Amino acid sequence: MNAPHPQKVAGIDSTVPAPAHTAAPAHAASGTAPVPPPHAPGALLQDRLAGWVSDLTTLHELTERLAATGTLDDALRELLRAGAALVGARRGLVALEPADKHGPDTTIGLGLGRADLGHIETVPRSATSLGRILDGLPGGEREIAEPDLFAEDGLDPRHREVAARLGYAASYALPLSTEAAGLLGAAVWLYDEPAEPGERMRHLIGLYARYAAEHLARLLELERTRACMATISEELLPSRLPRVAGVQLAARHRTGPRGGGDWYDALPLPDAALGLAVGAVTGSGPSAVAAMGRLRASLRAYAVMEGEDPVAVLSDLELLLRLTEPARSATALFAYCEPAPRKITLAGAGHCPPLLVGHRRTEFVETSVSAPLGMLACWEAPSVELQAEPGETVLLYTDGLLHRTGDPADRAFARLHAAAAGVPRALRHDPDALVDHVLRTVLPDGRDTAASEEDVVLLAARFE
């Protein structure tokens, strides 16, 4: 008669194997009935210690991998993968819904596509372990194991239908919370067959989940700070570009995670003129963003009063910076544009030269070499005049665009020139399409939107 099989348990088998014998019993040769030998002294304890060491090693490796993640999405995906390995599941999902309702809210699946997640979302929240945890329903403050969903008499009909359609028969869910931040979200792992993690694996996944929740809380605070800084930075820049006869405008701005000091501006001036400006202040974070806002506001005032003389505008800006923020420097470029004759007068202070993009030429504008604002006792440099042809675009940008490439300065300038020269003719009449093409070409593979310490600004003016 076969011995009964133990109940199926997900995860690592927590039973301790019997120790191996190194020698046969003395009575084996005599043919007498065998008598089980006693356990060697300390063998059981050694096996248990070996199991604990193995568990701790596994837990250490998984937490190290989690600690290496730097974004919420990466951390949530790593949490799902590690949790699946610990509880012996193949699929799962994690929902981030901070209890303070300040977001961000997101749901990520492991082994589940968008359509699968959509089907699960059609199940009433109160009928799922994930929903009971997120909504604070009775029993949702701790782990929820459902070892056999289809054996439950009170299973919601829609839940039964979705489980059968997606092919899962059991689940194990955990809340993700910390004492300081409260409930952050919940994770649930799905089994293809009736199963549940054993006591040993529940202990391990509980330890891992507590560490993961603390890590998620830190990343959540960082993400909120980044979003706040990006919002403040965007609010200090033009909400929309002006409409000026004879000129089409487009701009792109990418803010670093800490908030930087890169900025741009376009403002109508007396006599149907147009002022264009780009600049960057040193540093990052709230102080740099505030300095950027003050500098941009001051330049607008100077441009209205004496915009036809870009050197005077930047000289006044330099004096203001030196008196109000002596420990900070900035680069800036201001262009006074007359749309009807397509005449541009510009001056730069330590800033990158503009790029002129047309059907017959793509070239950098020769500007005088000058120091950034605030670097010398008194700044002044000659202005430069240029004549744009019909259909040509003047592209202003900050050095963050070049720095994000990771190339040396000469190669970064060459990359920018090649990107502008390679704009398809069909796109050159649209400054929005032109700046998008340049941005994606200079910073491919998502580097234009990826987190970076460098801000990026592009401002394009196409003359008709």
Task: Tell me the CATH number at 159.
Answer: 3.30.450.40
Count up the domains in the chain and report the number.
Answer: 2
DSSP 263: E
Same domain (yes/no): 319, 458:
yes
Q: Does residue 412 fall inside a structural domain?
A: yes
435 shares a domain with 286: yes
Domain annotation covers residue 98: yes
For position 26, what pLDDT does the model report?
37
> Which residues are paired to 451 by β-bridges?
none
Residues 435, 305 within the same domain: yes
Taking only Cα atoms into account, the Rg of the chain, rounded to an integer number of angstroms, comes to: 32
Domain that holds residue 317: 237-463
Return d(Cα 392, Cα 443) in angstroms, integer. 23
Domain end marker among 178, 197, 230: 230
Check residue 23 and give its pLDDT. Answer: 34
210 and 102 in a common domain: yes
Do the domain assignments include residue 39?
no
Same domain, 370 and 246: yes
Residues 74 and 186 in one domain: yes
CATH number, position 336 = 3.60.40.10
* Pair (274, 349) in one structural domain: yes
Q: What is the pLDDT of residue 13?
A: 39
Q: What is the pLDDT of residue 82?
A: 96
Q: Kindly state whether residues 310 and 412 are assigned to the same domain.
A: yes
One domain for residues 308 and 248: yes
pTM here is: 0.67
CA distances from 26 to 31, 46, 71 (A): 10, 26, 64
In a domain, 399, yes or no: yes
Inside any domain, residue 123: yes
Last residue of a domain, one of 230, 255, 282: 230
Both 169 and 269 in one domain: the answer is: no
Would you say residue 262 lies in a domain? yes
The predicted pLDDT at position 275 comes to: 97
In a domain, 280, yes or no: yes
Give a yes or no: residue 393 inside a domain.
yes
> Pick from 135, 139, 165: which is nearest to 150 by CA?
165
Domain C-terminal end among 230, 263, 281? 230
Same domain, 336 and 419: yes
What b/e readout covers 291-325, taking b as 16+ CB neighbours within 10 angstroms?
bbbebbebbbebbeeebbbbbbbbbbbbebbbeeb
Give yes or no: residues 418 and 453 share one domain.
yes
Q: Along the chain (464 residues), what's the average pLDDT of each consecutive run of 10 residues? A: 43 37 37 50 72 83 94 95 95 95 93 95 94 91 93 91 96 95 96 93 94 96 84 83 95 79 93 95 84 91 94 92 88 95 94 93 87 78 91 95 92 96 93 95 80 85 95
Eight-class DSSP state of 36? P
